[in-house]
Amino acid sequence: MSELQVAIKTQLSRQVTHWTEAAARLTDLNDLASSAAWQSLERYLGLSIQRHLTTVVAQLVREGEVLKAVLGAAVSQSDLFMVRRQLLIFRNRYTRVETTLKFFADAINTRTNPRIAGYLRACDILAYRSMSQLLDQLNKPTPSAFSYFEYGSIGAAVLRAYLRLWDGTGLNPVAAIKITHQNMPRQTALIHEAGHQAAAVVGWNEEFASKLVTGLAGAPLGVPEEWAGWASEIAADAFAFVHTGYGSIAALHDVLASEDAIVMRHRLGDPHPISYIRVLLGVEMCRQFYGNGPWDDLAQAWVQLYPLHTATSATRSLLEASLPLLPSIVQITLNGPMRCFGGRSLSALINPDRVKPQTLLAMEQQLGTALYTSMHWIWTEALRLLALTSLRLATTPERKLETFAQPEEWMLRLGGALQAA
């Protein structure tokens, strides 16, 4: 080799050593999160995440060994340039693997506090239970749910199971659901995000979008297509509704209640419906299944606080054309048979009457304090407890201290952070 080639190989050798050793250091997963945080995960969940991350890192380390072997065998300038290309590929792979590890490390480390860990374990259970109630009936597997907090955020989100992560080699082993601290007493958004995951498993969104286009064929030009573009979020809202009733609509209202321009904002390609009509669609769900109720006052206040004239001309036209369609959209969403549901409707698979306000209050009256303290009832009625406490928060704000204490305590019991009676 010439002196120039030796110089190039020396520089490449140092870089190869740097990046392959960095990859080797990733093999100790205890560096990612504290032992207490790992132990806070249910065993099946922790093993699933660790197995995935171990596989990802092991693959990276093997690629590093290949890179070192190619460097060792390089004897010509063309060989050295090939090493350089492979080195750059390896650096990029390392960065993507590190991004995957950082995501799980940050999420797991939100469980270092025992109370928060218990609360998040309860969220895991609630999300899984909501998905399994649908998917079990369709003979579909239910992915594990992994909940984590993101502070400084208003909205929840889900990184769906079975998607490729940043490393590009493996599939996400869990439905990772980001929830917000401000929504702790009423985590109906958790169920909305679980709905996104369930919809992806059965292929609901695509069929639902098609049903909206055909079902609204008589609407003004372009309106059915607008609603079809919102299908995924409407489906998730409906999933939250059938599991948690009016509480989910009130919670959605409180998240969306913002400045006039944001409530009336219409962005092309945004899967979220315009907030103004999205809240009123939720109210229509309540009206069709529950009749008159507190949602009527919510709707009356909503349209008064956000008058249509504050929207742009094009958005106002879309909203005015959409208002008469809301009953039909609810029928398509909740009562329309779907092939992905085995020819049944969502409401036939998960009956919204189970979380009707009168039904929830009757359950509370019948079971009394045992509903919130007995592990039997907490485990059996976890989702309806979420619906009940969310209803209480929506309709009896004057009982603030009592109302806020109940969801925290029963969820901590569900998550094993408090001893149940």
- Residues 255-289: pLDDT tens digits? 999 999 999 999 999 999 999 999 999 999 999 99
Q: Measuring CA to CA, how many Å separate 167 from each of 20, 62, 103, 177, 200? A: 16, 14, 11, 19, 22
- pLDDT at residue 404, rounded to an integer: 54
Average pLDDT, the chain: 92
Task: Look at residue 214 and tell me whether its pLDDT is greater than 70.
Answer: yes
Split at pLDDT 50, 70, 90, the class of 151 is confident
* pTM, two decimal places: 0.91
Q: Measuring CA to CA, how many Å separate 401 from each of 78, 223, 277, 396, 404? A: 73, 45, 32, 11, 5
Split at pLDDT 50, 70, 90, the class of 201 is very high
Task: Look at residue 152 and tell me whether its pLDDT is greater than 90.
Answer: no
- pLDDT at residue 420, rounded to an integer: 52
Q: Which residue has the higher pLDDT, 245 or 181?
A: 245
Split at pLDDT 50, 70, 90, the class of 251 is very high
- pLDDT at residue 113, rounded to an integer: 87
- pLDDT at residue 170, rounded to an integer: 76
Split at pLDDT 50, 70, 90, the class of 168 is confident
Which residues lie across from 344 on neighbouring strands? 338
Q: Which residue has the higher pLDDT, 110 or 323?
A: 323
